[in-house]
Structure 1
Amino acid sequence: MKNNIYAPDRIITETDRVLGWRDFFSLWFSLGIGLAVLQAGAVLSPGMGMVTSFYAITLGSLLGCLLLALAGVIGFDTGRSSMASMAYSLGKKGASVPALLNLLQLIGWGAFEIVMMRDAASLLAARALGSQSIWANAALWTWLFGIGATAIALGGPLAFIRLVLRRWGIYLLLIACAWLSLSLWRHGDIHRLAAAAGNGSLPFAAGCDIVISMALSWLPLIGDYTRFGKSARQSFLGTLGGYLLGSLWMMVLGGAYALAYVGNGDANALLVALSGAALGIPLLLILIDENENAFADIHSAALSSALFIPRQVKPLTLIIGLICTLIAWQVPLSQYENFLLLIGSVFSPLFGVVLAEHFLVRRRRNPAPGAGLSWRAFAAWIVGIAVYQLLLRDYPQVGATLPSLLIAGLLHLGLARRGEFNSAR
């Protein structure tokens, strides 16, 4: 396929709509199977206990995945990438703001993914071959994973999803998840885990908010893939089923392993525990799959940058991949974690506006977007960001992700209805 098929502002035609529900299920199941998802579960269980954290994971996953799948329908309806479709809500000039923020956060998170893979691979190599082995060298793994993720992104998502994930990749992941589950069942005290009470440090609502935010972190990317769907129904069901099953399974496993072998949410301790389960083979399979998360970050970052730089996507993909790898190699990323989380927090209320605009105001119709900036949409977005920060600072036990999304969406809907009323007078 021609490289320009991935141009972010290109409207996908019927002949380009080649992905069915099995493709989306494979993709999103794969993206739901990740080290960050495991670690999120490990954060929940010590504070909430296994049973309560299971309820929070289930409820949060259902809500987050429903919103994620709905956002995927927007990509199908518009035929454009996630950031290009922002023009329908924010105006063409206004869409450049989230595109720039998305570019910054995806470069950062792409580097984080490489770091997580590097740390896990170095740990596995050190346990198997000794800490003095060249394969335990962190810098070596940084470049190997950076090059691997960039190579996948250069190949494009369509070929990767259809030729790798759907044909055999998903089966390796199912084996890894089942193997980790069986190892926990055989060697962990399941009855003790089920009866374990949390230390009370994490309220139920805050736990749900963490789970929801994991799913919603993919909102700025999902349209980059669902625009190639054969139908809105297949895009919705494949995304919903795949990410729900993958993330739910991984978070529960992460929480259970944390209680069984770690006792807290420490990421390195969790990796040590997982590396010892079933000879570390399931963790190795998950580690190989983690490249797909980095690939998704790099590919979508290239699409966002293509909205500013009039170049084809492949050269931009190569540049973004190199930048992510250099950051992972040289920069202590802990210094930037709060900055990246701050950028990420703006997308929850933004998609409250986008979802309300697409489904309730325009009712899935796509008239030509305005050339300027929609102040109505920006006002609702800014209020949503303020609500998010206020709740995060003063009411962390309530959670901030879902309330800010709902308030921004309802405010935008109200302003739109008022504008329609005034226009009709």
Structure 2
Amino acid sequence: MESQQTVGRTFLPKLQAPPEWGIRPVTPDFRILRFLDFFVLWSSLGVGLLVLEAGALLVPGLSLGQALLAIGLGTLLGNLLLALTGVAGSDHAVPTMVLLRPVLGTRGSYLPSLLNLIQLIGWTAFEFWVMALAAERISLALWGVSGYGVWLVIFAAWCILLALGGPLVVVREWLEKFGVWLVYGVTLWMTYALFTQYDLGALWRQPGTGDMPFWLGVDLVVAMPISWLPLVCDFTRFARSSRGSFWGTFLGYGLANIWFYGLGALFILTLQVSEPTPEHLATAIMALTGGALALLVILVDETDNAFADIYSAAVTIQNVFPQVSQRLLVVIIGLVSLGLAAFLTMGRYFDFLLLIGSVFVPLFGILAADYFVVRGRRLQVDALYRQEGPYWYRGGVNWLGVGAWLVGVVVYHAIARGLPWLGASIPGFAVAFLLYLLLARLAGPHLGRE
């Protein structure tokens, strides 16, 4: 009996939540995540029906070869930013929004916190929506019953419970023991089916319609890893080493993003999916794999994306209101996202992705310039949490940083609207990065340096 209880404790997920760290630095005894932990976490977060849908948007506007090139280049650019930003979190064990205080000022960081909260609630609602629609297809196929509203509530409740558990529980007790390995198996199954049942050589030779400029496609791919930038340090602050967090994040998310963007493009070209909607992709997956099991496994994995969004949304609010209970915020955010999910449509998804890129690509351009170049990865961690310190600037705002950020956003939108063939991600990042370096040089010691 005792041995059976031991086995149960070993393999069943732990439901006891760890302590609430809020936005304070994680203590050394909880900085335990290694390379494999981050590889598993980020490869799992890179998997999902929403990623398939984003990949499906690339074709047939681009040819298959162009789409795969855009996927590879966009993933490399966005993923490098993601992993480098995560290094700042693992260096000092603090969440992302707190790390914006040196570059924007303590109060200046409240604006990206608000924008991040909006995008995280939006992502959570999209996740609930896409999971419920796909699960509806399963229940219709198996039992002839829709149950959309019931599925919404079930997925929302499970994701809220995961967020209450926190990163250490989800990574060590759920993903590494169960979730990610099931998804790897199903993804290999889908990939094998595509390569053996369809003539991919003929698809490779098929030209695109030209409706999508190549660099706009790259922007669409960049947007996915960029959407995780405001969250990444919320997880890498638990890292044992910055090197492990960087390579685990870079390789894990890069592999999944390329794989699922590519599968999304192939689904549109091979399975005669008329529109890249959750319902159509769910039907295509079931047809390709011969049943609902593969789709069900992907849905189970999709919940960790919503977990990450809910958890980081709570941490983001605590950057402004640190005294509010994180667990209370988790429940409130989950319920708000559940209500919002009832009003979403697929037509808003493309614009949502590009809006994310326009805000956060330039923002992390100035963060990269400030942290890696101006400060050389050095911060006064205790000063991050007090007023009238080096990161308070004028009234709590570093207007030089805010100005460089806004210029980058304007450049991004100007290119996206007027010159979409040029691509807005690289210019938006470069302008914000270089302008901040110039302003920092002009400001000299008044920039809040140590």
2:37 is aligned with 1:23: yes
- Are residue 225 (structure 1) and residue 235 (structure 2) matched? yes
Cα displacement (A) at 1:39: 1.0
Query: Match for 2:444: what amino acid?
Result: E
CA 210–264 in structure 1, closer or farther in 2 if over 3 Å, else same: farther
Q: TM-score, normalised by structure 2?
A: 0.88
Q: Deviation above 6 Å: which 4+ runs of structure 1? A: none
- CA distance in 2: counterparts of 1:333 and 1:211, whole angstroms: 20
- Spell out, residue by residue over 1:36-76, the C-alpha distance to the aligned partner (whole angstroms, 9 max, x if none): 11111111131111112111111111111111100100111
- Give the match for residue 306 of structure 1: 318
Pairwise CA distance, 1:311 = 1.6
The residue aligned with 2:387 is none
Write the deviation string for residues 2-30 of structure 1: whole angstroms up to 9, x where unpaired: 7554302x012322211001000000000
Structure 1 contact 46–263 (Cα < 8 Å) conserved? no
Question: Hey, what's the Cα distance between the residues in 1 that align with 2:356 and 2:194?
Answer: 37
Task: State the distance in 2 between where 1:394 and 1:303 align.
Answer: 36
Q: Are the aligned partners of 1:3 and 1:314 in contact in 2 as well (CA < 8 Å)?
A: no
Conservation of the 8 A alpha-carbon contact between 1:351 and 1:405: yes
- Distance in 1 separating the partners of 2:63 and 2:32: 44
Alignment of 1:390-405 (within 5 A): 390-405=414-429
Which moved further from structure 2: 170-179 or 184-193?
184-193
Q: CA 1:342/1:252 → structure 2, altered by over 3 Å: closer, same or farther?
A: closer
* Amino acid of the structure 2 residue aligned with 1:177: T
Q: Hey, what does 2:409 align to over in structure 1?
A: 385
For 1:33, the equivalent position in structure 2 comes to 47
- The answer to whether the 8 Å contact 1:262/1:270 transfers is no
Number of paired residues? 418
2:90 is aligned, of 76, 84, 89, to 76
User: Hey, what's the Cα distance between the residues in 2 that align with 1:335 and 1:234?
Assistant: 39
The whole-number CA distance in structure 2 between the counterparts of 1:285 and 1:162 is 19
> Is 2:78 the partner of 1:64?
yes
* Percent of aligned pairs sharing the same letter: 40
Alignment-derived partner of residue 306 in structure 2: 294
CA distance in 2, matches of 1:239, 1:208: 20
Q: Does 1:250 align with 2:236?
A: no
Change (3 A) 1:49 1:377: same
Q: Larger deviation: 164-173 or 139-148?
A: 164-173
**How far apart, CA to CA, are the structure 1 residues paired with 2:214 and 2:77?**
15
Aligned to 2:288: 277
Match of 2:185 among 168, 172, 175: 175
Contact 2:361 2:428 in 1 (8 A): yes
Q: Please give the alpha-carbon distance, in whole angstroms, between the structure 2 residues aligned to 1:156 and 1:18.
A: 14
2:369 aligned residue (343, 350, 356): 356
2:436 pairs with one of 412, 415, 423: 412
Whole-angstrom CA distance in 2 between matches of 1:323 and 1:14 = 34
Alignment of structure 1 residues 164-203 onto 2, 5 Å: 164-203=174-213
In structure 2, stretches of 5+ residues that fail to align are 1-15, 385-390
For 1:316, which of 311, 318, 329 is the aligned residue? 329
Decide whether the 8 Å contact of 1:78 with 1:85 is kept in 2.
no
| Matched letter for residue 390 of structure 1 | A
What is the aligned partner in structure 1 of residue 388 from structure 2? none
Q: CA RMSD in A?
A: 2.1
- Structure 1's unaligned 5+ residue stretches are none
Q: Name the SS of the counterpart of 2:188 in structure 1.
A: helix
Q: Which structure carries more helix by proportion? A: 1
